[in-house]
């Protein structure tokens, strides 16, 4: 539902599961509209500190990305019956360039955890990314002393690779070598 002037515009729910074309009915209003196994999931707009961390991550990753790699904020990933929008997505060279990236094109997804998305970012989305075979996931916990948890896909889901915290740069090698200093992002 969207408020236009003083009237309310209702978006029709599909007769069956939600699909990617249904997402085009929603206004670009700051909410994040995603589909999980055919069910709609809506996340409220994030606070400015969240966006500051996302912008810092994008700048850091773009500066380190080898030629041909793409670093995008809020690019959707199509995962079968699910359409998720990570905070940051890193695409391999020669990816398809579609508006919804295929899992095989995705080298890294980054989720910046917030109070309203904690369980979604820490439990549900990683399970879906792992099921799709996305090799790297970074979970960023913002705050006064932000932390980056770099995770790699193992036999039982994502496994810890490295943790970066503080203002001193820490090298993370996945999906490509990059130095991160989360303490400088606040």
Tell me: cis bond preceding 121? Omega within 30 of 0 counts: no
* pLDDT (0 to 100) of residue 9: 63
Domain ranges of the chain: 46-184
CATH of 46-184, one of 3.30.70.920, 3.90.1570.10, 3.40.710.10, 3.30.450.20: 3.90.1570.10
* pLDDT (0 to 100) of residue 3: 58
Q: Where are the beta strands (DSSP E) in 51-174?
A: 70-73, 76-79, 82-84, 88-91, 100-101, 106-112, 136-141, 147-154, 157-165, 170-172
* pLDDT (0 to 100) of residue 143: 87
* pLDDT (0 to 100) of residue 90: 97
- Nearest Cα neighbor of 110 from 58, 69, 171, 62 is 58
pLDDT per residue, tens digit, the chain (186 aa), is: 555 566 666 677 888 999 999 998 888 898 999 999 999 999 999 988 899 999 999 999 999 999 999 999 999 999 999 999 999 999 999 988 788 999 999 999 999 999 888 999 999 999 999 999 999 999 999 988 999 999 999 999 999 999 999 999 999 999 999 999 999 987
């Amino acid at each position: 539902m969207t408020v236009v002037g003083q009237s309310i515009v209702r978006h029709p729910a599909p007769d069956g599961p939600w699909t990617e074309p249904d997402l085009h009915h929603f206004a670009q209003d700051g909410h994040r509209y995603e589909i999980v196994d055919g069910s709609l999931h809506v996340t409220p707009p994030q606070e400015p500190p969240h966006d500051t961390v996302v912008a810092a991550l994008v700048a850091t990753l773009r500066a380190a990305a080898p030629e041909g790699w793409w670093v995008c904020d809020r690019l959707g990933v199509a995962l079968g019956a699910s359409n998720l929008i990570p905070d940051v997505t890193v695409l391999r060279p020669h990816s398809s360039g579609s508006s919804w990236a295929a899992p095989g094109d995705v080298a890294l997804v980054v989720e910046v955890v917030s109070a309203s998305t904690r369980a979604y970012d820490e439990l549900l989305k990683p399970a879906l990314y792992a099921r799709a075979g996305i090799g790297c996931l970074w979970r960023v916990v913002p705050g006064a002393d932000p932390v980056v948890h770099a995770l790699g896909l193992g036999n039982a889901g994502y496994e810890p690779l490295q943790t970066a915290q503080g203002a001193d740069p820490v090298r993370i090698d996945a999906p490509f070598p990059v130095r991160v200093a989360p303490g400088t992002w606040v």
